[in-house]
Structure 1
Amino acid sequence: MPTPLERDPGLPVPDPTVPFWQLPPHSLASVSSKKFQSSTDVVIIGSGMTGCSVAKGLLDGDSKIRITVLEARGLASGATSRNGGHIVSPSVGDFAELVECFGVKAAVDIAEFTLNNIEMTFDAVGEFPESSLAKYSKIRPTTKVLAYADQEAFNNAQKSLQLWNKHMPSKRKDHFKLVSSEEAKTELGLHNVVGAGIGPGAAVWPYRLWCGLWSLLLDRYHDRLAIETFTPVHAVADAPATEERLGRYVVKTSRGEVGASHVVYCTNGFTSHLLPTLRGKLFPFRGTMSAQDLGLSVPNHGADRSWSLLSTPHVDEKSGVRSASLYYLTQDPDTGYMMLGGEYEKPEDLVCSDDSKVNSRSAEEISKVLPRHFETPDPPQMKSLWSGIMGFSRDGIPMIGRLSAEVTGRREGGEWIAAGFNGYGTGYCYSCGLAIAQMLLGKDVSGWVPSALTITKERFQGSLSTGKFWDGLVGPSVDAEPRSKL
């Protein structure tokens, strides 16, 4: 009997909950070609932010390459447009843990990678100054506030920040500071916290950003880019010798087969459906998000801030319910709506690939978060509630690179992956996608891509098989105090 981590996630369900972000649907939400092409140079599976970054990197880097993007549902309709709207690095708060798990050099490299990712995302938007993408997507710098609800979590943050300022390059030091509970109350309006961390961050309307970027890429590269939505991939196979002229691989879809020389998996939590050897190493995680109206003017809480609330995880022995250790929050600068997510659920209801349902306990709990930590004269009105499927790796960091025959069961050389962002897709995805594009084009990325993220044979057989980062999610019931951060 497989554990929840080892189950087949299947294909994305056809009837997902509808995020506030996706209303109204983008004009390309159901885009597809009139004629489904039987061959291409590169197939990208998944049309989210990672797939978009891969496509942009390839199209910008090779003037002849042809790309077909295959998406099981609507354009950018997965985790990319179901998240909290942050563009932040997880590395400051996680730095001590990264050092413990991977060493100082790897921790520094990963932190630099995520911070550069934020800058590169803004740069991608800036490449189209004639467009309205920046205004349309509401991408903006923010002050990132990470609040701590208990002393243990705050103590860990102090340790992490000390290590950060000790080991990071000088240009990254002293950009983040910790404040006391009293300062958090007077300066930030936060209640019932023991302290907070403050530093640079960013926020965005994620669906608009990535659909908008896809639209600009289609305009620029319409003769070399095809996007096929509502075209789920059922299997990838080696091409028969008689069909190798169409490519090294055959990608089998609901609309027919397409031959390709390269296949890139940008399917995050659903990846192990197509690559069964990754089950137990890469798994889905269902998150809960909401849009809430406090009926307050925007300046009261600050749309120029993005928030997270961290506490030490706790599991109720009787119910098995896991108290969330992380809530995340941004505010829409126009409507004032608070975009809030977080989990309060049994582990077996978190390790799940069905986003047609919402975690019921989590939905109830997130309605209480704003009154608990902000002055709210009236209860918030729930405007929208939805779920989304993230991809978590067993060792807690993304996996990127060329896949070996050990993983695919096929000839090596042309299958690639960028997945397992552990709830921080916006902190990793653009850089990971660009890294894959450059690798595929034969460029040396060793100068800026952390070696710890690559999916080597050693990592496949090592930390991805034995990692304890998400140890508390392995079994269907809680038998011991977990070490999970969620």
Structure 2
Amino acid sequence: MLGILLTYASPLLRYDIVVRTLLHVLRWVYWPFDDLLKRVENSPGLPVPDPTSPYWTQPPSPIAQRNSSSEGKRLPEDADIVIIGSGITGTSFARTILDHGNGNDVHGKPLRIVMLEARDACSGATGRNGGHITPVLYQDYAMAQKIIRFRLSHLEQLLQVAEEEGLSSDSQCRRVEAFDVFHDKNLFRQAKSWLEEYQEDLPEESRNYRIYETAEELEPLQLSKSTVGCLSTTAGSVHPYRLVTGILGRLLNSYQANFDLFTHTPCTDVKTSDEDDLDQYIVETPRGAIRARHIVHATNGWVSHLLPGMRGKVFPARGVMTAQIPREEKSSEEPKEAMSTTNRASWTGTRSFVFYPSTSVGVYDYLTQQLPSGGSSRSSYPSPNGELMLGGGFAHGAVADIGNADDSEWSPAVGEYVRQALGSYFSVKRNGEKEGKDEVKATWSGILGISADERPWVGRIPVSITARGRQTASGEWIAAGYTGEGMVQAWMSGKALGHMVLGVELDSWLPEVFMVTEERWRSAGFESFVCRIR
């Protein structure tokens, strides 16, 4: 029967049938894969209480444990809006909705907003990622141009926000030259072809791209001899933890009567009211319950814990990051354009990288670098020291890490790979001297939210998905599922959600395909996600 189907089906359909059949067979014969599918299909649970410690959070923000003790400030009994999650999405939403009317809604009525965080403030993916404001563009050019522009808008938006909030120094938010570095000739050739098509249709957005492929062009970049070519463009880099906690600190100070944050206060359940008011929810926590008309789910990889209907639609995946101190500087006699990664007169803190060491764009590592010592003198935090922030190695632990929401540890194989990977990407030795090593200062894990159709989910959640059926119209909202691209999707998604809840016109800048619909929800699933990976 399968043979007959494959004979008459279209090539794409035949591919889907083969993949789905293989998935079912794998589930029966390979128990780790069956375990993976069970994780994807089930609740990710609450964030674990003892996560690994990211280098970004050293030292912690003054608001890291705000209202964390049950012996301190009591949880309010009522609120207009409860935001679950204190990362970049929840912060963008809170800033949008509070600043729009100086703490009031569109009718001039004061808003009461409560933000709940299961652990320290900004302790999820935002405080654990690579700090790149570098969207995937030409590789995914089959996507709509509107999505391209949406992703690109994040750099200017975050630069503007950092400036407005007085956080440019603390957050190190800045433009950098972003390099895609290829080790496979065929993949590099394909990338140049994608870029050419991208530049034909979007010349303004792609005008800053540059191609490096000759020995003379590549040598000053200090990349390894395995490098066959690079593409570069303007992108951004940021200290995500300090940006977000800085914004939250300002909001908490400016809107003391409207807004508060309760850390170490996990939301354990959302229920509908048993009373006559069909539009109220009961948000349950270990410290008491809050009645609210609107619930904003901004927990990304954990979002399906409180939204069972989203299981298999957005699921967690564990990644690994490191902070490494670059190897010692070379002699000052070395030509300036070929100085080591730590030379303060060269490119420290001005570049970021995505490395493609194999034949697929689905296998990559990513690197950004903090500013050199003294490069952020107006910051209230200790000066950075040019730390190299490297993440990746996902292919080395995918079976164990997909569906895994435990960031109290990391896969040993992935951790070891990331700790050693820099040696295969750069070469700064000269005159036959021994290659130095980059000192690993910290290793940690973080939880991504993977969308089954690879697009964020933004908007009002239909009652049919929440399964909290007493509501006449759902008051639950979501912005989640950034699939590893949160820094170029989350801020504007949170901003869009703020406009939606306020009832303010979006001016059509949010891609329609990000919106939550029942049709989209029915078609998204893990099997379809795997079928798109080719």
Change (3 A) 1:408 1:197: same
Q: CA RMSD in A?
A: 2.0
2:408 is aligned with 1:356: yes
The aligned counterpart of 1:250 is: 282
The unaligned stretches of length 5 or more in structure 2 are: 1-33, 105-109, 330-341, 373-384, 429-434
Could you tell me how far apart the structure 1 residues matched to 2:295 and 2:359 are?
38
Could you tell me how far apart the structure 1 residues matched to 2:231 and 2:528 are?
27
Could you tell me how far apart the structure 1 residues matched to 2:256 and 2:84 are?
18
Q: What is the aligned counterpart of 1:268 among 293, 300, 303?
A: 300
Change (3 A) 1:301 1:466: same
Check whether the contact 1:86–1:204 (CA below 8 A) recurs between aligned residues.
Answer: yes
Check whether the contact 2:118–2:265 (CA below 8 A) recurs between aligned residues.
Answer: yes
**TM-score by structure 1 length?**
0.88
Matched length: 450
Could you tell me how far apart the structure 1 residues matched to 2:522 and 2:265 are?
33
Structure of larger gyration radius: 2
Check whether the contact 1:395–1:470 (CA below 8 A) recurs between aligned residues.
Answer: no
Could you tell me how far apart the structure 1 residues matched to 2:512 and 2:298 are?
19
Check whether the contact 1:269–1:282 (CA below 8 A) recurs between aligned residues.
Answer: yes
Could you tell me how far apart the structure 1 residues matched to 2:220 and 2:530 are?
35
**TM-score by structure 2 length?**
0.80
Identical counterparts, % of pairs: 34
Q: Describe how 1:123-138 pairs up with structure 2 within 5 A.
A: 123-128=160-165, 131=166, 133-138=167-172
Q: Describe how 1:194-273 pairs up with structure 2 within 5 A.
A: 194-242=228-276, 244=277, 248-273=280-305
2:142 is aligned with 1:108: no
Could you tell me how far apart the structure 2 residues matched to 1:77 and 1:298 are?
32
2:520 is aligned with 1:459: yes
Secondary structure of the corresponding residue to residue 289 of structure 1: strand
2:463 is aligned with 1:425: no
The aligned counterpart of 1:326 is: 364
The aligned counterpart of 2:432 is: none
Change (3 A) 1:47 1:197: same
Check whether the contact 2:212–2:218 (CA below 8 A) recurs between aligned residues.
Answer: no
2:136 alignment partner AA? P
Could you tell me how far apart the structure 1 residues matched to 2:53 and 2:214 are?
37
Deviation at 1:446, TM superposition (A): 5.0
1:367 alignment partner AA? R
The unaligned stretches of length 5 or more in structure 1 are: 99-106, 315-322, 473-481
Deviation at 1:146, TM superposition (A): 1.2
The aligned counterpart of 2:222 is: 189
Could you tell me how far apart the structure 2 residues matched to 1:148 and 1:162 are?
17
Check whether the contact 1:324–1:342 (CA below 8 A) recurs between aligned residues.
Answer: no
Change (3 A) 1:459 1:181: farther
2:389 is aligned with 1:339: yes
Deviation at 1:230, TM superposition (A): 0.5
Secondary structure of the corresponding residue to residue 302 of structure 1: coil
Check whether the contact 1:44–1:68 (CA below 8 A) recurs between aligned residues.
Answer: yes
Secondary structure of the corresponding residue to residue 525 of structure 2: helix
Check whether the contact 2:314–2:452 (CA below 8 A) recurs between aligned residues.
Answer: yes
Check whether the contact 1:298–1:333 (CA below 8 A) recurs between aligned residues.
Answer: no
Q: What is the aligned counterpart of 1:409 among 427, 449, 467?
A: 467
Check whether the contact 1:189–1:301 (CA below 8 A) recurs between aligned residues.
Answer: no
2:81 is aligned with 1:42: yes
Q: Describe how 1:138-153 pairs up with structure 2 within 5 A.
A: 138-153=172-187
Deviation at 1:167, TM superposition (A): 2.3
Secondary structure of the corresponding residue to residue 119 of structure 2: coil
Check whether the contact 2:187–2:359 (CA below 8 A) recurs between aligned residues.
Answer: no
